[in-house]
Structure 1
Amino acid sequence: MKKTVVGLTGQSGAGKTTISDAFRENGFEIINCDLVAREVTNADSKCCKELAKLFPSCFDENYSLDRQKLGEIVFSDKNKLQMLNDTIYPFINKLIDEKINATESEFVLLDAPTLFEAGADKLCCVIVSVVADFGIRLERITKRDGISAELAKKRFSSQ
């Protein structure tokens, strides 16, 4: 069965989850790429073993990732962010492709904040981008993720 894949992207805190819910209510299977990223970085995964070579201070002996520590490192250094992305995106895209092929739904939405950076836009028939005011985004992210405004701003600047 040929799949219709819609890519949903936008900056952190812009409202992708709300839009994603609307697509779900209209029959789309949703693939949350943030959750896919968490899945490929489960402790002792192949991806974590690769990342641990680059960011050893962010892992324990069981290859369990400290995401906050990694975020502090990569969101303040564009070169390290690029190293992270170059390592993790192939794992993420492989799993996304597997999930698209495994779904029985004809319609799939990729909720993907870094759709273009990851190269996952190549999997999509059409792309929707969500935008929101900076202040609204900042408020949403600090509440949702329990992080400081300073860390949220670093995250924004890396996008």
Structure 2
Amino acid sequence: MVVGLTGGIGSGKTTVANFFRELGIPVYIADEAGKRLMLSSEEIKKEVRELFGEQAYPGDEPDRKYIASQVFNDSEKLEALNNIIHPAVAADFQRWLSRQNAPYIIYEAAILFESGGNEKCDRTILVTAPHDEKIKRLQFRDNSEIEEIEARMANQWSDEKKLKLADFQIKNTDLALTKSQVEELHEILLNSRKN
């Protein structure tokens, strides 16, 4: 059973994913896979250079800041980049999935619903947090300006829109409460396998 895990930036997806890991559930993080593939795949490097120019890869590693600056206010370029990365991540995920042996796995992706990735999941979980809390977390984590954070958030669907598609919601405001929600959900998912 593939359980999709998503949430807007700053919602605490990684924290929730780590709680599932602590319960022995395998977790695949699509963004990490994308970053790894951008380092290792010659095909991706070639296509990203064609899209953004040689500046995108000054050496063997991508210039993430440059690439981000190219896509953040250009939805066509963002879509073109996603069309390079997403199929490679999907293939990598299938290889990873074939090696797992667990009652269910977590597939964590920032734009699960936006990209249609939820259609490949048996169940979906949306992690939410208050807007101000997300901004505080991102300022602390990335040392980002509020304007930059708001621009990144504007590229993602609202929690309200995602909630209509999600099977479960985890409200991530207090770590102990979040952990207990994960444990409850873990039991629900294990039991749904038996039915």
Query: Structure 2 length as normaliser, TM-score?
Result: 0.73
> Which residue among 132, 143, 157 is the counterpart of 2:154?
157
Amino acid at match of 2:99: A
Cα RMSD (Å) of the superposition? 1.7
- What pairs with 1:121-132 in structure 2 (closer than 5 Å)? 121-132=118-129
> Which residue among 67, 71, 76 is the counterpart of 2:68?
71
Query: Structure 1 length as normaliser, TM-score?
Result: 0.88
- What pairs with 1:12-91 in structure 2 (closer than 5 Å)? 12-42=9-39, 45-56=42-53, 57-60=55-58, 62-91=59-88
Task: Point out where structure 2 has 5 or more consecutive residues left out of the alignment.
Answer: 157-195
In the TM superposition, residue 44 of structure 1 has moved relative to its aligned partner by 5.7
Task: Point out where structure 1 has 5 or more consecutive residues left out of the alignment.
Answer: none
Q: Which residue of 2 aligns with 1:5?
A: 2
In the TM superposition, residue 147 of structure 1 has moved relative to its aligned partner by 2.7
Higher gyration radius (CA): 2
In the TM superposition, residue 6 of structure 1 has moved relative to its aligned partner by 0.6
* Larger relative contact order (CA 8 Å, sep ≥ 6): 1
Q: SS of the counterpart of 1:34? A: helix
Higher deviation after alignment, 101-110 or 76-85: 101-110
Runs (4+) of structure 1 moved beyond 3 Å? none
Matched, 1:148 2:178: no
Amino acid at match of 2:57: F
Amino acid at match of 2:83: D
> Which residue among 106, 109, 112 is the counterpart of 1:112?
109
Q: SS of the counterpart of 1:52? A: helix
Matched, 1:92 2:89: yes
Q: Equivalents in 2 of 1:69, 1:34: separation in Å?
A: 17
In the TM superposition, residue 71 of structure 1 has moved relative to its aligned partner by 0.9
How many residues end up aligned between the 2 structures? 155
